[in-house]
């Protein structure tokens, strides 16, 4: 993996990024690659994978059914000072849920919108249900104690106070490995979550430069010069390859996700061929 690490470092140097964390684990060969994998980063929307996993865990414990419906509303409590805030339709990648205000929507559908379209509104509704502290505790039990979920999106008072979520590339790869190996809750539940991730609609990162026969179950994230993509690379006849790439300091979205796409392709070619 040394030559691959050198190649990835060269790709990173070409972008002028401040830091890029890479954590790759190939379940076929057991090969691993970690580059700045323990550097903490703002996870942006990649933390929504953690929320999904906690939602499924609580459903498995029969606290509620994923088919339970809750009322869509746009009023949430800031963790900074207890004041109320709302999320912005204009800043949300998934605007259609705002047209359903006051209507009842299933937890399963809210989870889908949170993952495949990165709905901030759905995320805050689900975090309010399962609690951020429970999400963090479950990640810790999965061996990813460096994943910290304090709050949902657009809690601007908390952001200003420095109360932010934290993740590392290694931590994200660890929890995705649990899903890929069918070890979280049950093989069936893990597979269902992978299927949700396969529906991802933002595909300019990990999947962009891969062969057509490779499917990617993944979650993107971006905020303030941070561009991330974390996922499970799947191809028939091969065990999954888990890959998380978290960047910081790249100005343009197309450059951030372009780098992620090149790193993903380089790793796939090196490991799988």
Instruction: Give the total number of structural domains in the chain.
Output: 2
Place of tokens 């929504």: 48
In terms of domains, do 153 and 192 share one? no
In terms of domains, do 57 and 148 share one? yes
CA 22 vs CA 66, 77, 85, 138, 264: distances in Å: 33, 34, 34, 23, 10
Of the residues 116, 134, 163, the one at which a domain ends: 163
In terms of domains, do 6 and 70 share one? no
Give the per-residue pLDDT at 146.
95
In terms of domains, do 29 and 61 share one? no
Give the per-residue pLDDT at 70.
99
C-alpha span between 195 and 214 (Å, rounded): 14
In terms of domains, do 139 and 174 share one? no
- The beta strands (E) that lie in 36-79 are given as 69-71, 76-77
Domain that holds residue 67: 47-163
Of the residues 163, 187, 218, the one at which a domain ends: 163
C-alpha span between 190 and 102 (Å, rounded): 31
Q: Which residues of the chain have pLDDT under 70?
A: none
CATH number of the structural domain spanning residue 264: 3.40.710.10
In terms of domains, do 84 and 139 share one? yes
In terms of domains, do 128 and 225 share one? no
In terms of domains, do 113 and 51 share one? yes
CA 190 vs CA 92, 248, 262: distances in Å: 27, 30, 28
Give the per-residue pLDDT at 155.
97
In terms of domains, do 173 and 157 share one? no
In terms of domains, do 6 and 98 share one? no
C-alpha span between 66 and 86 (Å, rounded): 24
Q: Give the pLDDT confidence of 125-180 residue by residue, as tens digits.
A: 999 999 999 999 999 999 999 999 999 999 999 999 999 999 999 999 999 999 99
C-alpha span between 159 and 91 (Å, rounded): 16
In terms of domains, do 180 and 233 share one? yes
In terms of domains, do 101 and 119 share one? yes
Nearest Cα to Cα of residue 73 among 89, 56, 58, 86: 86
Give the per-residue pLDDT at 135.
99
Give the per-residue pLDDT at 175.
99
For residue 194 the two structure tokens come to: 């992978």
Of the residues 111, 132, 163, the one at which a domain ends: 163
Give the per-residue pLDDT at 273.
74
């Amino acid at each position: 993996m040394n030559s691959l690490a050198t190649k990835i470092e060269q790709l990173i140097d070409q972008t002028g990024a401040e830091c890029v964390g890479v954590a790759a684990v190939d379940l076929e060969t057991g090969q691993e690659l970690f580059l700045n994998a323990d550097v903490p980063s703002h996870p942006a929307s990649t933390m929504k994978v953690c929320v999904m996993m906690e939602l499924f865990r609580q459903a498995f414990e029969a606290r509620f059914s994923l088919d339970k419906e809750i009322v869509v509303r746009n009023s949430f409590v800031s963790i900074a000072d207890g004041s109320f805030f709302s999320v912005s339709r204009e800043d949300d990648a998934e605007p259609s849920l705002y047209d359903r205000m006051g209507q009842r929507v299933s937890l399963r559908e809210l989870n889908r919108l949170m993952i495949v379209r990165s709905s901030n509104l759905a995320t805050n509704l689900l975090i309010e249900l399962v609690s951020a502290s429970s999400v963090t505790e479950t990640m810790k039990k999965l061996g990813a104690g460096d994943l910290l979920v304090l709050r949902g999106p657009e809690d601007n008072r908390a952001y200003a106070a420095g109360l932010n979520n934290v993740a590392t590339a290694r931590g994200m790869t660890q929890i995705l490995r649990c899903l890929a190996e069918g070890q979280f809750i049950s093989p069936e539940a893990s597979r269902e979550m992978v299927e949700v991730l396969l529906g991802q609609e933002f595909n300019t990162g990990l999947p962009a430069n891969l062969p057509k026969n490779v499917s990617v179950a993944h979650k993107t994230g971006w905020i303030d010069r941070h561009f991330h993509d974390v996922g499970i690379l799947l191809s028939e006849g091969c065990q999954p390859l888990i890959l998380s790439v978290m960047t910081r300091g790249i100005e343009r979205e197309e450059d951030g996700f372009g780098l992620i796409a090149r790193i993903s392709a380089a790793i796939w070619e090196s490991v799988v061929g």
